[in-house]
């Protein structure tokens, strides 16, 4: 155990005091890990759209002050009671969802939606005692999705921590702990395009480009990217996208355009925008008889999906996925190995880098739609 094990650690964290206001670098106290918890030293973190959404308080009953952040890489500093499969010094990726390994979902080969540890955006405290491990002057600062990686040290349930190859560069593979794996897995694990097949990807942000990367790895011959922003088309070529469509350029529904281009529809589609009309288009653009559409984007709470039942009767399949169907502890290490074996290219997702003191710049980049992933260096 490290010299700090069992003690409160004082460190810097970027605290959101209220919705939509710039984060403030504060000195926080981080309590030692309790039963089935680990305390991590975060070395690199990155900003995901989910952080921005909840920082703007669009997604939940607002809970502040809060420490956001959930895409990251770090090292185990100490472990709490009952933790046996991690030890200080292990290189890890914290994950916004978990794998207890005991529940029906964890024991199922088909599901990754752990009963105990699946994502909970409303909870701001730890499961074991309903308390926060962060405080400033004795007052609690709340957690976010069980990770809170915008802090030099954080405490996380052991089931939300994936132990990875220590040779993997954490400043690169940290982006695999959320969005990139979500898109990649949606294609490789759920859509499963065959070699030489066609696929449509709706939305060419980081998650959609990761879905395209999955299609490239799988050997799809036609990867059609659909986005309302033509600026994204050029960059998407690096991720294997072969053709581009902007729905604004057409006077008929985009699913009809795709059907005409592909002799009746694509073999697979992956929807990464969360827009319900894009979801309907993604389903209706797949070929009858064998087409599979996969929904990844998170819809608004009042949305409803409408399509004619005959689209299903004609042997089209509609699927949803959560975190690319990866079980965090069991499967993420193998995604990191895909990068180490040069099957998966991660560098092209990383477009910016800022020191921790300038974390608000990462929010500015994302809000202006500039780039894909911004790495935040905790030691800089």
Q: Where in the sequence numbering do the catalytic residues fall?
A: 48-50, 70-71, 100, 103, 106, 114, 118, 178, 373
> Which two three-digit tokens encode residue 365?
């980049």
Residues 6+ apart with CB under 8 A from 220: 193, 194, 195, 196, 197, 198, 199, 240, 268
Rounded Cα gap, residues 290 and 344, in angstroms: 27
> Exposure of 95 by Cβ count < 10 A (0-12 exposed, 13-18 middle, 19+ buried)?
buried
**Contact criterion met (CB below 8 Å) for 149 and 163:** no
Q: Is the dihedral of CA 156, 161, 165, 168 positive or negative?
A: negative
Residues 6+ apart with CB under 8 A from 306: 280
Closest CA to 79 of 89, 66, 69, 70: 89
Rounded Cα gap, residues 13 and 10, in angstroms: 10
Entry field: residues in the chain? 380
Q: How far is CA 68 from the centre of its chain?
A: 14
């Amino acid at each position: 155990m490290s010299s700090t094990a069992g003690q409160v650690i004082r460190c810097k964290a970027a605290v959101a005091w209220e919705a939509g206001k710039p984060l403030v670098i504060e000195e926080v106290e981080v309590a030692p890990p309790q039963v089935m918890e680990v305390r991590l030293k975060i070395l690199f973190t990155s900003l995901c759209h989910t952080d921005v959404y909840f920082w703007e308080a669009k997604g939940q009953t607002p809970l502040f002050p809060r420490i956001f952040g959930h895409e990251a890489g770090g090292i185990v500093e100490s472990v709490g009671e009952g933790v046996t499969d991690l030890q200080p010094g292990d290189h890890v990726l914290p994950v916004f969802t978990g794998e207890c390994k005991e529940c029906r979902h964890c024991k199922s080969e088909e599901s990754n939606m752990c009963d105990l540890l699946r994502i909970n955006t409303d909870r701001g405290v730890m499961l074991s005692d309903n308390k926060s491990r962060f405080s400033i002057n004795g007052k609690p600062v709340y957690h976010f999705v069980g990770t809170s990686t915008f802090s030099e040290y954080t405490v996380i349930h052991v089931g939300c921590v994936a132990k990875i190859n220590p040779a993997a560069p954490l400043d690169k593979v940290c982006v695999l702990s959320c969005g990139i794996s979500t898109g990649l897995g949606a294609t490789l694990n759920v859509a499963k395009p065959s070699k030489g097949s066609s696929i449509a990807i709706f939305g060419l942000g980081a998650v959609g480009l990761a879905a395209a990367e999955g299609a490239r790895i799988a050997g799809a011959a036609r990867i059609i990217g659909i986005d309302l922003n033509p600026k994204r088309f050029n960059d998407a070529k690096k991720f294997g996208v072969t053709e581009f469509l902007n729905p604004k350029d057409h006077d008929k529904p985009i699913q009809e355009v795709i059907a005409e281009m592909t002799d009746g529809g694509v073999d697979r589609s992956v929807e990464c925008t969360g827009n319900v009309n894009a979801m309907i288009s993604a389903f209706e653009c797949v070929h009858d008889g064998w087409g599979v559409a996969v929904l990844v984007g998170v819809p608004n709470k009042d949305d409803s999906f409408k399509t004619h039942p005959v689209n299903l009767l004609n042997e089209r399949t509609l699927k949803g996925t959560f975190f690319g169907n990866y079980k965090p502890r069991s499967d993420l290490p193998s995604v990191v190995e895909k990068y180490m074996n040069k099957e998966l290219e991660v560098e092209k997702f990383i477009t910016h880098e800022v020191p921790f003191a300038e974390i608000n710049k990462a929010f500015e980049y994302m809000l202006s739609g500039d780039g894909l992933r911004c790495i935040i260096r905790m030691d800089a």
